[in-house]
Amino acid sequence: MSESRSRKIRLGIDTGGTFTDFIVSQGNSLLSFKLPSTPHNPAEAILNGVAMILGGGAEKIAHEGRLGAQSPAESGARPTTRTTALDVVHGTTVATNALLQRKGARTALVTTAGFEDVIEIGRQARPRLYDFMVTKPAPLVPSELRFGVSERVLPNGSVLTPLDSSQLEPLANRIRRLDVESIAVCLLFSFANPAHEEMIARALEPLGLPVSLSHKILPEYREYERTSTTVINAYLTPLMSHYLRALSEGLEQGRGTQSGGRRAQQSVLRVMQSNGGSVSAQTASAEPVRAILSGPAGGVVGALRLCAAAGMQDIITFDMGGTSTDVALCRGEAKTTNEATVAGLPVSVPIIDIHTVGAGGGSIARVDSAGALRVGPESAGADPGPACYGRGEDITVTDANLVLGRFGGTSLLGGEMPLDLKRARNLMAALATEMSRFTIKPVSMERAALGVIAVANANMEQALRTVSVERGQDPRLFTIVSFGGAGGLHVAELASALRIPQILIPRSPGTLSALGVLLGDVVKDYSRTVMIRAAGLDSKRVEREFRALESVGRNDLAGEGFRGARVKLVRSAAVRYIGQSFEIDIPWDSTFERRFHSAHRERYGYSDSNRPVEIVSLRVKAMGVTDKPAINRSVIDKHSLAKPSSRASVYFSGRKTPTPVYLREALNSGTRFAGPAIVTEYSSTLMIPAGWKAVVDAWRNIAIRRDKITQ
């Protein structure tokens, strides 16, 4: 029967290098689907997906019950002709790609005279300590676009040298003549007194250019990191604001609404930030530096939510997509850092501590001049894509898995996307011939494919070691949560290499990042450098500073529609031993000193309770609690049997193995089965080698365990 009234649709979208993923939440339904990304214009794939949703087309391709909720098709609902409100949360790679590819705006930097070269000088630390030939990345602002103004503010906020306003008009005229697209302003100690930055902003206003002020972007000390972060924000602002404006207009217009479908009455667009929370598109346009790891952050949020429901706290997230792999270690919550480096540049806004490597399903395999097999970081992306997609000429990790029979068939997306096995085999045979030039014995096509997988796995294993072993964490004490379209084909081999005893595969793993984007709250971070000794702490001053930050947070969240009980405020402080160069973020309460000593001991292996402690910065996280789709629990059926839908010949190592292929949607909670096995579903494929046992839990996750870990 037709719906008789308008409904609100909540939509989570994650744009990846190969696919754009959609999670649709309406009433009691929760559907997911994927569309090929459109790298030339990421908004195009999004608007096409929205048009399908409004026209009812998503229900035709979204498979029943992947997230454990009733679909509209099952409930008998049909697309209504009435208007529909859209609440869209978007994880985007626009800022990331622009920074990685150096395709941002032509940016000018205005700073205190004498500090024009801070972003080029940086710090004495070298990117690779023992590499004498290392080349630092070029600064985003060339020397001819860096301008110094005569002024000086002291650390306590007092003015040593007043800003002479007569120098501002000539400055504006010089910038006008240089065809600048964006401006960053970062003055010495402006976080203590922003008056001079505000004067410069007013003087530059007639230029009609976006201006990023450091006291708003990052009101903390450390001139290099603060300048770098402000410059990155200015560098990305024109591109991000143009993209989000076009996307917002497309959503408002309801572009592509099909005949007889719904039309968006109003649209709310929010953007996922790197800290795991979302903000309005307007805020993201002005502060794009906060969305550099937008999509990967959504995956961590989604994994934590599902694992919390399943009673798991200590996890390592493994998100393998078409272009890259993102990993993060979480102990009950996502760990954020203010010391991230992206594209070789420091970014000091809060970011979930995610490590990324250029290894994905689309990573291109090649033989270098010395005969070594290389895989990535270059990717075939969505256009032309892996060879088996029908257009690409380069062999990729996806092609290797297809040649080895690991997809359990020759199609993806529930049969919607056929794969060209012959094309993949021909190009893999050519790679094998190239490899044979450097070996005594000829390399077979299957051996070449196994080599591609082994090299890709080595790259991803190193990423997993970086977030665990290299930081003093034993991976054997964690569960690895695998998602992303390609993760399930590699996670068991990686878990074996690291002796991780348990793997968790969520429902619809290929769209988990889109679900996480939808599950995130609206989050805004505020901070202020104070430099206060813990001994003889002026608690009244600290309280005043916290309340001032919280007041700003409440006002900002009210502007986004969050008030009262829907607002949560969390206090923390950046703390260090006096004389240290860097701090540890500690939750704020009366025991902060004890907490700091404990955290310092855990991170560095020692602590000294007799050493004086200093509070460097006070921080407030303001959260607007959003409506979240329910993650339903199923009844365990201990008598449910896994019945293969087909069988395939799969290369797990050097020889073919007859392997049962299971359909994910046919596996009920309580179903148990053992490897070797292939599990296929709409958004991903899972490969379970021999020696691993699997069970479907109450949330329809597949939990895989290996009873005996090989030493």
Taking only the tens place, the pLDDT of each residue in 337-372 is 888 888 788 999 999 999 988 889 999 999 998 999
- Say how many Å lie between the first and final Cα of the chain, rounded: 60
What integer pLDDT is reported at residue 711 of this predicted model? 42
Going from N- to C-terminal start, the domains of the chain cover 8-97+250-270, 101-240, 363-402+418-453, 521-624
Whether 684 shows a pLDDT value over 80: the answer reads yes
What integer pLDDT is reported at residue 200 of this predicted model? 97
> Mean of the pLDDT values across residues 149-162?
95
Q: Where on the phi/psi map is residue 202: left (φ > 0), alpha (ψ -120 to 50), or beta?
A: alpha
88, 270 contact by CB (below 8 A): yes
As a whole-number percent, the residues of the chain with pLDDT over 90 amount to 68
Lowest-confidence pick of 71-75, 184-188, 579-583, 609-613: 71-75
Lowest-confidence pick of 7-16, 537-546, 595-604, 676-685: 7-16
DSSP string, 575-614: EEETT-S--EEEE-STTHHHHHHHHHHHHHS---TTS-EE
Q: Where on the phi/psi map is residue 249: left (φ > 0), alpha (ψ -120 to 50), or beta?
A: alpha
Q: Is CATH 3.40.50 what the domain over 521-624 is classified as, yes or no?
A: no
Lowest-confidence pick of 72-86, 185-199, 337-351, 467-481: 72-86
324, 375 contact by CB (below 8 A): no
> Mean of the pLDDT values across residues 8-33?
87
Three-state DSSP at 254 gives: coil
What integer pLDDT is reported at residue 328 of this predicted model? 95
**Residue 278 and residue 340: Cα distance in Å, rounded?**
19
* Residue 108, beta-bridge partner list: 183
Q: Where are the beta strands (DSSP E) in 407-537?
A: 411-412, 417-418, 479-483, 502-505, 522-533
The secondary structure of 87-148, three-state, reads: EEEEECCHHHHHHHCCCCCCEEEEEECCCCCHHHHCCCCCCCCCCCCCCCCCCCCCHHHEEE
Confidence of residue 708 (pLDDT cuts 50, 70, 90): low
Taking only the tens place, the pLDDT of each residue in 248-265 is 988 887 644 444 455 555
- Between 258 and 393, the more confident residue is 393
What integer pLDDT is reported at residue 6 of this predicted model? 52
Whether 25 shows a pLDDT value over 80: the answer reads yes
What integer pLDDT is reported at residue 57 of this predicted model? 57
What integer pLDDT is reported at residue 254 of this predicted model? 65
DSSP string, 196-239: HHHHHHHHHGGG---EEEHHHH--SS-HHHHHHHHHHHHHHHHH
> Mean of the pLDDT values across residues 146-165?
95
CB under 8 Å to 68, separation ≥6 — which residues? 30, 507, 631, 632, 633, 634, 699, 700
User: Half-sphere exposure of residue 250, counting CA atoms within 13 Å on the CB side?
Assistant: 19
DSSP state of 478: S
**Residue 403 and residue 396: Cα distance in Å, rounded?**
11
One CATH from 3.40.50, 3.30.70, 2.60.40, 3.30.60 for 101-240: 3.40.50
> Mean of the pLDDT values across residues 591-608?
93
Picking from 151, 159, 145, 72, the residue whose alpha carbon sits closest to that of residue 112 is 151
Taking only the tens place, the pLDDT of each residue in 316-328 is 999 998 888 999 9
Whether 5 shows a pLDDT value over 60: the answer reads no
Taking only the tens place, the pLDDT of each residue in 119-130 is 999 887 777 778
Has this prediction a pTM greater than 0.85?
yes
Would you say the C-alpha torsion 257, 260, 261, 267 has a positive or negative sign? positive
What integer pLDDT is reported at residue 208 of this predicted model? 96
Cα 334 to the chain's mean position, in Å? 12
> Mean of the pLDDT values across residues 579-605?
92
Rounded to the nearest integer, the mean pLDDT of the chain is 89
Each residue of 69-78: b (16+ CB within 10 Å) or e? bbbbbeeebe
Can you read off the two tokens belonging to residue 694?
């699997």
Whether 69 shows a pLDDT value over 50: the answer reads no
What integer pLDDT is reported at residue 75 of this predicted model? 32
567, 624 contact by CB (below 8 A): yes
Picking from 433, 430, 384, 388, the residue whose alpha carbon sits closest to that of residue 406 is 388
**Residue 656 and residue 615: Cα distance in Å, rounded?**
61
What integer pLDDT is reported at residue 265 of this predicted model? 56
Confidence of residue 100 (pLDDT cuts 50, 70, 90): confident
> Mean of the pLDDT values across residues 82-90?
78
Report the CATH architecture of 8-97+250-270. Answer: 2-Layer Sandwich (3.30)
